[in-house]
């Protein structure tokens, strides 16, 4: 199952004047958070472990990692089972809250989400929001 593809954005209704890399920031932030939270699949934790270490050391930004390592495609092969269940509920663009949280946290004063800079400073602003959403989601799972 493919959650997102940067080409869906930069080949669609994408603001003129922005580099195509801006289409990857929002997904790169979520994927980086998931990987650093321990929700990555063996693809990242074993096969691409060197690249993951580069991300952990913050030698590459979240969006750049997503483009370089995942070719701008985010799918269920990137996450472990818990990560996938969370992504299906939270990241889903139609029914999830991720884009709303992303926009409210990082893009409130911008024209659109594509103008959010792919920086670790922005990641650090978004991380507590994602952590809280994940904690709430886990608590809801335990109640069921």
pLDDT digits (tens, 9 = 90+) for 28-46: 999 999 999 999 999 999 9
- Give the number of C-alpha atoms closer than 13 A to the C-alpha of residue 52, restricted to the C-beta side: 20
**pLDDT at residue number 12:** 66
**pLDDT at residue number 19:** 87
Q: How far apart are CA 115 and CA 108, in angstroms?
A: 11
Q: Where is pLDDT greater, at 112 or 143?
A: 112
Can you give the pTM of this predicted structure?
Answer: 0.94
Residue 10 has pLDDT above 80, yes or no: no
144 pLDDT band, cuts 50/70/90, is: low
Structural domain boundaries, residue 98:
2-143
To which H or E segment does residue 5 belong?
Answer: strand 2-5
**pLDDT at residue number 143:** 75
pLDDT digits (tens, 9 = 90+) for 76-134: 999 999 999 999 999 999 999 999 999 999 999 998 999 999 999 999 999 999 999 99
Under 8 Å between Cβ of 40 and 52: yes
Domain count along the chain:
1
For residue 16, CA distances in Å to 5, 41, 81, 105, 130 come to: 19, 35, 37, 23, 29
Unique residue bearing structure tokens 């321990």: 38
Three-state secondary structure string covering 73-95: EEEHHHECHHHHHHHHHHHCCCC
């Amino acid at each position: 199952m493919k959650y997102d593809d940067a080409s869906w954005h930069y080949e669609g209704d994408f603001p003129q004047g922005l580099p195509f890399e801006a289409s990857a920031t929002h997904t790169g932030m979520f994927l980086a958070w998931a990987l650093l939270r321990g929700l990555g699949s063996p693809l990242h934790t074993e096969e691409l472990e060197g690249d993951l270490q580069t991300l952990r050391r913050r030698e590459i930004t979240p969006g750049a990692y997503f483009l370089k390592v995942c070719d701008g495609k985010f799918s269920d092969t990137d996450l472990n089972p818990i990560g996938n269940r969370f992504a299906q509920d939270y990241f889903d663009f139609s029914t999830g809250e991720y884009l709303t949280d992303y926009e409210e946290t990082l893009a409130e004063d911008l024209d659109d989400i594509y103008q959010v800079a792919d920086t670790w400073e922005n990641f650090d602003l978004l991380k507590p929001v994602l952590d809280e959403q994940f904690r709430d989601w886990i608590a809801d799972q335990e109640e069921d």
